[in-house]
Amino acid sequence: TLIMGRRAPEIVARACDLGVAMQFTNIARDVGEDARAGRLYLPQSWLREAGIDPNTWLQTPSFTPEIAAIVQRLLDAADIFYSRATHGIANLPIGCRPGIYAARALYAEIGRELERSGLDSVSRRAIVSTNRKIAVLGRTLLLPQAEWEPAQNLVAQAAAVEETRFLVEAVAATPLRENVKPRRPIEDRVVWVIDLFERLERRDQLQRMASYR
């Protein structure tokens, strides 16, 4: 959002919503993969409500109707955040909206693929096929122009969730710099951010490898 020149709290909050939605989708997709690595990100309170002891299940992860219901519940929560994020996308520069909306649509499609496969993310990992991706992108590109018009009721949208409020407040508290060099093209700035994430991920990998020695 900052790369695209938007820093208003109500827009940053919607960007955070998109991040939350994508993370929920990740968790729903990787239940089995995470469990086999000794990780459990499903809400433990939801597991206990379904009569599942988290520690016992993590020792021998298996797919059950109760797990399916929890995965569906997580996808439903993700869909709420995807919907909230749409209002923020509508307030990005017009040239940025199709790409971000496409990313949102493709990630949400992982949830739809999970639903089509019976919500079993324990024994398999949901993958959106190339043909499905093309279809989703096609629908996105064919959206009417009105879909990209800035939302007029943005301020009335929900505030940031508590877990991401610190990000919104950090942006608001950071003053704009004056007399800076002209902005780099949007493509260069996106590449820079992706490179930063790759460096951070590599650093984390090295730290994990060092901890295993």
According to the model, what pLDDT value does residue 148 have?
52
First to last CA, the chain: 39
Give Cβ neighbours of residue 123 (< 8 Å, ≥ 6 apart): 32, 63
According to the model, what pLDDT value does residue 155 have?
44
Instruction: Judge whether 117 lies within some domain.
Output: yes
Residue span of the structural domain in which 190 resides: 181-213
- Same domain, yes or no: 174 and 189: no
- Same domain, yes or no: 147 and 83: yes
- Same domain, yes or no: 156 and 73: yes
Instruction: Judge whether 79 lies within some domain.
Output: yes
SS3 6: coil
Task: Using alpha carbons only, give the angle 25, 29, 31 rounded to the nearest 5 degrees.
Answer: 120
According to the model, what pLDDT value does residue 139 have?
74
According to the model, what pLDDT value does residue 133 have?
76
Instruction: Judge whether 100 lies within some domain.
Output: yes
- Same domain, yes or no: 165 and 188: no
- Same domain, yes or no: 210 and 164: no
Give, for 79, the enclosing helix (H) or strand (E): helix 65-89
- Same domain, yes or no: 204 and 155: no
CB 74 within 8 A of CB 42: yes
Report how far residue 89's alpha carbon sits from residue 103's, in angstroms, rounded to the nearest whole number: 11
Among the listed residues 18, 23, 165, 170, the one whose alpha carbon sits nearest the alpha carbon of residue 90:
18
For residue 125, give the CATH number of its domain: 1.10.600.10
According to the model, what pLDDT value does residue 3 have?
79
Report how far residue 75's alpha carbon sits from residue 28's, in angstroms, rounded to the nearest whole number: 7
CB 121 within 8 A of CB 114: yes
Instruction: Judge whether 3 lies within some domain.
Output: no
DSSP state of 160: P
- Same domain, yes or no: 205 and 192: yes
- Same domain, yes or no: 122 and 207: no
119-168 pLDDT, tens digit per residue, is: 999 988 777 777 777 777 777 766 655 555 555 555 445 678 889 998 88
**167-189 burial string, b = 16+ CB within 10 Å, else e?**
bbeebeeeeeeeeeeeeeeeeee
Residues of the chain with pLDDT under 50: 155-156
Q: Which stretches of the chain are assigned E, i.e. beta strand?
A: none
- Same domain, yes or no: 58 and 120: yes
- Same domain, yes or no: 60 and 99: yes
Instruction: Judge whether 14 lies within some domain.
Output: yes
- Same domain, yes or no: 173 and 192: no
Q: How many domains does the chain have?
A: 2
> Using alpha carbons only, how large is the chain's radius of gyration in Å?
19
**62-80 burial string, b = 16+ CB within 10 Å, else e?**
ebeeebbebbebbbeebbe
Instruction: Judge whether 1 lies within some domain.
Output: no
CB 20 within 8 A of CB 161: yes
- Same domain, yes or no: 148 and 208: no
